[in-house]
C-alpha cells in the first residue's frame, strides 16, 4: 500500500474504535475533549461491509494524521476494518512522521500483543470465515507490535476497592496491611507495610491530597477503620468514598443510604437472570425457580484469591439448610459427602480439581456451574460425577479449555440444559449423548474442534434450542421433533439437510454471517417458522440486512412505511448468474434512502418506473451489475455508484436539479450526462472511471468539494480558478 502521502498532514488524530458501547461512552468523551482543545480529529464511525477492502478515505485519513489512537476493546479484533486500520497505522509509522498511541479500554496490552482471550476467538472466526492466512498473519504482526507500544491502560486508572475490612482489620497489623493494599492499588505499584497507622495516614495525605479518587470500602464495623482508610481530608476535591457497613452509627456526618431487602418478585427476577439469562423462568421451571431461587433460599458466596486457603466440612456445620453455594476459585479439603444435604445449586467457577467434586454431596444438586474450570476428561471422575448427579437439570461447562477429546455421558440423565460454549479443545460429542433424552438446550458455540455431531442427536426428541457455529448438521437433525430455535450464526454450513423440512415446531432460524447458498423449498412449509425470512411488521421504518451466499432476496413490498432500506448480499463462489427482480421496490412510497450492495453474480433489474419513488433522497448502488439505469427520481440529493463496472453510461441527470452529492467510483462511463444541469451540486467525486470529459464543470458554481482520482481517460479539466466556493480539491493521476 502506498504511504508516500503520510507527510501531508490534515488531521492531528485518527481515532479508531469498535462497538456502540465504546462509541457512546469513552470514544465520544475523548473525541469531544480533543476537539474542545483545538485538536482536529478524524473519527472512523463507519463499519466496512464484510469482504470489502479498507476504504480509500480511511487510508487517506490515517496517512494524513499525525497521530493514530486505536481504542482496543474486547470486541475490537472482531472488526476486519479495525484490523486493516491497525495495519495501515503501522505502515505509516514505519515510513516515519506518524505516532501511534494505543488505548487499552477494557483489556490489557497482553490481549492485544499476544492475541489471547476475545482476540483469539475473533481470529478463529476470521480464519473460519475464509480470511487468507497471509492477511491474518499481517494483522497479528501489527497487533503484536502496537501492543508493545507505550499507551494508556484504562484498567489501571486511579481507584481502590478494599473488601472484607471487618475481618482483615481485627488487629492493628491488619489495618496497616489494608492501608498498604489501598495505596498500592491507587499507585499501581507494590509498597512495604507502614510501621504505624499514623505513618500510613500521613503518606496517603501526602500522595493523594490533590488527587481525585474513587474508593469502595466494604464491610466496615469500626470508626477507626474509616479514619485510617477513608477519611475525606486524605484525598483531593471531588473524590468519592463509598462505604458498606452493618453499623450505621460509624457514618455520622456523611450521606447514608440504607439498602432494603429484595421482595419475592425481585429475588425471582435476579435468580432468573443468572439461571436462564432472562427475567422470567423458562416454561416449566416456575415452581422449581420459586423453590430454589426466592424466599426459601439460604445461599452462600465465597471467593478465594489465596490458593493457600481452603474450606473444611466443619465450616458448613451451622448451615444445615444451605441450598445455594458459590465457590469462586475456592479449594476444599476433607470429606463433604455427608455435608450440605440440602444443596441444590453449586456454582464453582474456576474449580481446579475434578476429584474435589467427588467429595461433595451432589445427589440432589439441580444446577451445576463449572464454567472456566480446570476439569479434564478424566474418564473415571467424569463417570462418577455423572452417576452422582442424577437429578441434575443444568450443567454449565463454558470455557473449560482443558476438556479435550470426546465427551461421554455414561448413564441416562434428566439434564435439561447443557452448555459447552468455548470448550476450544473438545473434539467430539460422543454417541452416548443419546442418553440425554430430556435435554432441551444444547450450546456448542465456539467448540472449534467439533466438526460433526453424532447421528444419535435424533434421540433427543425434547431438544428445543441448538446453538452451533462450527459443526455440521447430521441428516438426523430432522428427528428433533421439539426443536424450536436453531442458531447457525457465522457457521460455514453451506446447505441444510433435507430432513430440515421435518422440524415442524421450528420457530426461529438464525443464520447471520453463514455461508448458506439456498433454502430447501420445503422450509417455506414449516408452519411455525417466524425468523428464517422474518415476517417483518409493516410499521418498520428502517431495515439494515446482510447475508452471505443467498440466492434470493425476499419481496419486502409489504413494508409500506419503510424509509431506509440497506441490503448487502454476497454470493462468492457462484459461476452462474443470479437474476434478481426488484420491481417491488417501486411499491415503497415512503422510501427516502436506498442502498444495494451485491456482487457481480447478481443480475439486477430495477423497475422502469423507478422515478416514481418521489420521496427518495439518497441512492447508493455498490457492486451492482447493471447495463443501464432507468430514469431516476428527480428529488434525489445524493447519488453514489460504486464498482458498477457493467454500467457503460451514466443515467441522464438533467432533471435532478436538487442533487447535492454525486459519486462515481470504478464505473465504465465515458461521460456524465446532464452534468451541466446540476446547478445545486456541492460535492463531486469521480475516481477510477473512464470518463473522458468534464467540461460541464464550469457550470457548477456551488461546488465545494471536488475529487478526481485515477481517471486516466480524462483529457483535461476546465479552469477552476473562478470556483469561489470550492473548499476541498483533490486531483491526482489524470493525463493532460
Residues 6+ apart with CB under 8 A from 685: 662, 663, 664, 665, 705, 706, 707, 709
Residues 696, 698, 704, 709, CA torsion sign: positive
pLDDT digits (tens, 9 = 90+) for 516-531: 655 555 665 677 765 4
State residue 161's pLDDT score: 47
Let me know whether 411 and 484 are in one domain: yes
Please report the pLDDT score of residue 7 as a whole number. Answer: 43
- Indicate whether 200 belongs to any domain: yes
Residue 720: its pLDDT value, please?
77
255 found inside a domain: no
Tens digits of residue pLDDT in 405-442: 777 787 678 899 999 988 888 888 888 888 888 999 99
- Kindly state whether residue 677 falls inside one of the protein's structural domains: yes
pLDDT average, residue stretch 178-204:
74
Residue 481 resides in a domain: yes
Predicted confidence (pLDDT) per residue in 139-184, tens digit: 999 999 998 888 887 765 444 444 544 544 544 455 677 777 777 7
Average pLDDT over residues 9-29: 77
Residue 623 has pLDDT above 80, yes or no: no
- What is the pLDDT at residue 50? 39
Q: Which residue has the higher pLDDT, 140 or 207?
A: 140
Among the ranges 102-116, 207-221, 273-287, 560-574, which has the highest mean pLDDT value?
Answer: 102-116
* Whether residue 477 is found in the same domain as residue 364: yes
- Name the burial class of residue 487, with classes exposed (0-12), middle (13-18) and buried (19+) by CB atoms within 10 angstroms of its CB: buried
Which of 155, 172, 199 terminates a domain? The answer is: 155
Helix (H) or strand (E) holding 271: helix 264-275
Range with lowest mean pLDDT among 34-43, 296-305, 441-450: 296-305
Closest C-alpha among 127, 119, 124 to residue 146: 119
Tell whether 128 and 202 lie within a shared domain.
no
**DSSP one-letter string for 330-373:** --B-S-BTTS-TT--EEE-TT---HHHHHTB--TT--EEE-TT-
Tell me what pLDDT residue 559 has. 80
Residue 227 burial by Cβ neighbours in a 10 Å radius (0-12, 13-18, 19+):
middle
As given in the structure block, the three cell numbers for residue 226 are: 474509616
pLDDT value at 69 more than 90: yes
Do 289 and 340 sit in the same domain of this protein? no
Question: Which residues lie below 8 Å from residue 73, measured CB to CB, with a gap of 6+?
Answer: 17, 18, 19, 21, 22, 105, 106, 107
Mean pLDDT lowest among 39-43, 82-86, 253-257, 423-427:
253-257
Domain assignment present for 537 = no
* 445 Rama class: left (phi>0) / alpha (psi -120 to 50) / beta: beta
Write the CB contacts of 623 (distance below 8 Å, at least 6 apart in sequence). Answer: 597, 598, 599, 600, 642, 643, 644
Lowest mean pLDDT among 244-248, 549-553, 673-677: 549-553
Same domain, 131 and 166: no
Whether 534 maps to a domain, the answer reads no
Query: How does the average pLDDT of the chain come out, rounded?
Result: 77
Q: Which of 289-293, 474-478, 657-661, 663-667 has the lowest mean pLDDT?
A: 289-293
Nearest CA to 215 out of 239, 250, 195, 234 is that of 239
Task: Say yes or no: 594 and 714 in one domain.
Answer: yes
Q: The domain that contains 647 carries what CATH number?
A: 3.80.10.10
Q: What pLDDT is stored for residue 554 in this prediction?
A: 65
For residue 384, the enclosing domain spans 297-310+319-525
Q: Is the pLDDT of residue 706 over 70?
A: yes
Q: How confident is the model at residue 68 (pLDDT cuts 50, 70, 90)?
A: very high
pLDDT at position 20: 58
Report the C-alpha gap between 336 and 221 in whole angstroms: 33
If asked whether residues 177 and 61 sit together in one domain, one would say no
Q: What percent of the chain has pLDDT over 70?
A: 78
CA-based angle 67:70:75, to the nearest 5?
170
pLDDT digits (tens, 9 = 90+) for 338-361: 788 888 899 888 787 777 787 788
* pLDDT confidence band for 58 (50 / 70 / 90): confident
How many C-beta atoms lie closer than 10 Å to residue 9's C-beta? 15
Q: Model confidence over 474-505: pLDDT tens digits?
A: 777 888 888 888 887 767 677 788 888 888 88
Do 53 and 91 have their domain in common? yes
Whether residue 533 is contained in a domain is answered as: no
Tell me the CATH number at 46: 3.40.50.10140
Looking at residue 3, its pLDDT comes to 38
Among the candidates 108, 133, 155, a domain finishes at 155
693 closest CA partner among 680, 679, 676? 676
Instruction: Select the more confidently predicted residue: 373 or 684.
Output: 684
Same domain for 483 and 335: yes
The proportion of the chain whose per-residue pLDDT surpasses 90, expressed as a percent, equals 10
Q: Using an 8 Å Cβ cutoff, are 591 and 565 in contact? A: yes
Separation of alpha carbons 372 and 642, rounded Å: 47
Q: What's residue 298's pLDDT?
A: 61
**290 and 427, same domain (yes or no):** no
pTM of the full predicted structure?
0.41
For residue 535, tell me if it sits in a domain.
Answer: no
Does 641 have pLDDT greater than 80?
yes
224 and 126 in a common domain: no
In whole angstroms, give the CA distance from residue 212 to residue 107: 23
Count of domains forming the chain? 5
> pLDDT of 22-34, one tens digit each?
665 678 778 877 8
pLDDT in tens, 277-329: 777 887 777 777 776 543 444 656 555 544 545 778 777 776 777 888 888 76
pLDDT recorded at residue 105: 84
Same domain, 184 and 234: yes
pLDDT in tens, 549-577: 455 566 777 788 889 988 876 554 444 44
Amino acid at each position: 500500500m502506498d504511504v508516500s502521502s503520510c507527510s501531508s498532514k490534515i488531521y492531528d488524530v485518527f481515532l479508531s474504535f469498535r462497538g456502540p458501547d465504546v462509541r457512546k461512552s469513552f470514544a465520544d468523551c475523548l473525541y469531544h475533549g480533543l476537539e474542545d482543545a483545538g485538536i482536529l480529529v478524524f473519527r472512523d464511525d463507519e463499519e466496512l461491509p464484510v469482504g470489502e477492502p479498507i476504504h480509500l478515505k480511511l487510508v487517506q485519513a490515517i496517512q494524513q494524521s499525525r497521530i493514530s489512537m486505536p481504542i482496543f476493546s474486547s470486541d475490537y479484533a472482531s472488526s476486519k476494518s479495525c484490523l486493516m486500520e491497525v495495519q495501515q497505522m503501522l505502515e505509516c509509522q514505519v515510513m516515519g512522521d506518524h505516532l501511534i498511541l494505543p488505548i487499552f479500554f477494557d483489556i490489557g496490552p497482553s490481549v492485544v500483543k499476544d492475541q489471547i482471550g476475545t482476540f483469539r476467538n475473533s481470529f478463529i472466526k476470521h480464519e473460519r470465515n475464509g480470511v487468507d492466512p497471509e492477511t491474518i498473519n499481517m494483522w497479528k504482526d501489527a497487533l503484536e507490535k502496537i501492543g508493545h507500544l507505550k499507551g494508556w491502560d484504562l484498567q489501571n486508572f486511579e481507584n481502590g476497592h478494599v473488601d472484607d475490612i471487618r475481618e482483615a482489620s481485627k488487629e492493628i497489623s491488619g489495618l496497616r496491611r489494608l492501608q498498604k493494599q489501598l495505596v498500592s492499588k491507587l499507585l499501581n505499584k507494590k509498597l512495604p507495610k507502614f510501621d504505624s497507622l499514623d505513618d500510613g495516614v500521613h503518606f496517603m495525605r501526602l500522595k493523594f491530597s490533590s488527587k481525585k479518587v474513587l474508593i469502595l470500602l466494604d464491610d466496615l464495623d469500626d470508626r477507626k477503620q474509616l479514619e485510617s482508610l477513608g477519611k475525606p481530608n486524605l484525598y483531593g476535591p471531588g473524590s468519592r468514598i463509598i462505604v458498606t457497613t452493618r453499623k450505621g452509627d460509624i457514618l455520622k456526618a456523611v450521606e447514608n443510604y440504607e439498602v432494603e431487602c429484595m421482595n419475592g418478585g425481585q429475588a425471582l427476577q435476579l435468580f432468573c437472570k443468572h439461571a436462564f439469562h432472562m427475567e422470567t423462568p423458562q416454561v416449566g421451571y416456575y415452581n422449581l425457580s420459586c423453590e430454589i431461587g426466592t424466599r426459601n433460599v439460604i445461599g452462600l458466596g465465597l471467593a478465594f484469591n489465596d490458593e493457600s486457603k481452603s474450606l473444611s466440612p466443619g465450616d458448613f456445620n451451622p448451615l444445615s439448610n444451605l441450598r445455594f453455594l458459590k465457590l469462586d476459585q475456592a479449594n476444599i479439603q476433607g470429606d463433604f459427602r455427608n455435608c450440605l444435604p440440602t444443596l441444590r445449586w453449586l456454582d464453582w467457577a474456576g474449580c481446579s480439581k475434578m476429584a474435589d467434586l467427588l467429595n461433595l454431596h451432589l445427589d440432589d444438586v439441580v444446577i451445576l456451574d463449572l464454567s472456566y474450570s480446570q476439569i479434564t476428561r478424566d474418564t473415571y471422575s467424569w463417570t462418577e460425577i455423572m452417576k452422582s448427579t442424577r437429578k441434575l437439570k443444568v450443567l454449565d461447562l463454558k470455557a473449560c479449555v482443558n476438556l479435550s477429546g470426546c465427551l461421554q455421558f455414561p448413564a441416562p440423565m434428566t439434564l435439561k440444559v447443557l452448555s459447552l460454549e468455548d470448550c476450544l479443545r473438545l473434539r467430539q460429542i460422543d454417541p452416548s449423548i443419546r442418553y440425554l433424552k430430556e435435554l432441551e438446550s444444547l450450546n456448542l458455540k465456539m467448540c472449534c474442534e467439533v466438526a460433526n455431531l453424532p447421528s444419535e442427536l435424533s434421540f433427543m426428541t425434547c431438544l428445543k434450542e441448538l446453538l452451533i457455529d462450527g459443526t455440521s448438521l447430521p441428516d438426523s437433525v430432522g428427528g428433533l421433533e421439539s426443536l424450536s430455535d436453531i442458531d447457525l450464526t457465522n457457521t460455514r454450513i453451506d446447505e441444510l439437510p433435507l430432513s430440515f423440512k421435518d422440524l415442524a415446531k421450528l420457530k426461529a432460524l438464525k443464520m447471520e454471517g453463514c455461508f448458506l447458498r439456498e433454502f430447501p423449498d420445503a422450509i417455506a412449509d414449516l408452519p411455525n417458522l417466524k425468523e428464517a425470512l422474518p415476517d417483518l411488521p409493516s410499521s418498520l421504518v428502517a431495515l439494515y440486512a446482510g447475508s452471505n451466499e443467498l440466492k434470493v432476496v425476499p419481496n419486502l413490498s409489504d413494508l409500506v412505511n419503510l424509509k431506509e432500506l440497506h441490503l448487502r448480499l454476497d454470493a462468492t463462489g457462484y459461476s452462474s448468474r443470479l437474476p434478481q427482480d426488484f420491481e417491488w421496490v417501486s411499491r415503497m412510497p415512503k422510501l427516502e434512502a436506498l442502498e444495494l450492495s451485491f456482487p457481480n453474480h447478481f443480475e439486477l433489474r430495477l423497475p422502469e418506473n423507478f422515478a416514481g419513488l418521489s420521496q427518495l433522497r439518497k441512492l447508493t448502488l455498490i457492486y451492482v451489475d447493471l447495463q443501464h439505469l432507468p430514469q431516476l427520481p428527480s428529488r434525489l440529493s445524493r447519488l453514489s455508484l460504486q464498482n458498477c463496472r457493467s454500467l457503460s453510461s451514466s443515467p441522464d441527470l438533467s432533471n435532478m436539479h436538487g442533487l447535492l452529492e454525486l459519486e462515481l467510483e470504478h464505473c465504465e462511463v465515458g461521460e456524465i450526462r446532464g452534468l451541466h444541469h446540476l446547478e445545486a451540486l456541492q460535492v463531486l467525486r469521480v475516481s477510477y472511471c473512464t470518463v473522458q470529459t468534464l467540461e460541464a464543470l464550469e457550470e457548477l458554481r456551488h461546488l465545494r468539494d471536488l475529487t478526481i482520482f485515477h481517471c486516466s481517460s480524462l483529457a483535461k479539466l476546465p479552469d477552476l480558478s473562478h470556483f469561489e466556493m470550492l473548499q476541498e480539491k483533490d486531483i491526482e493521476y489524470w493525463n493532460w
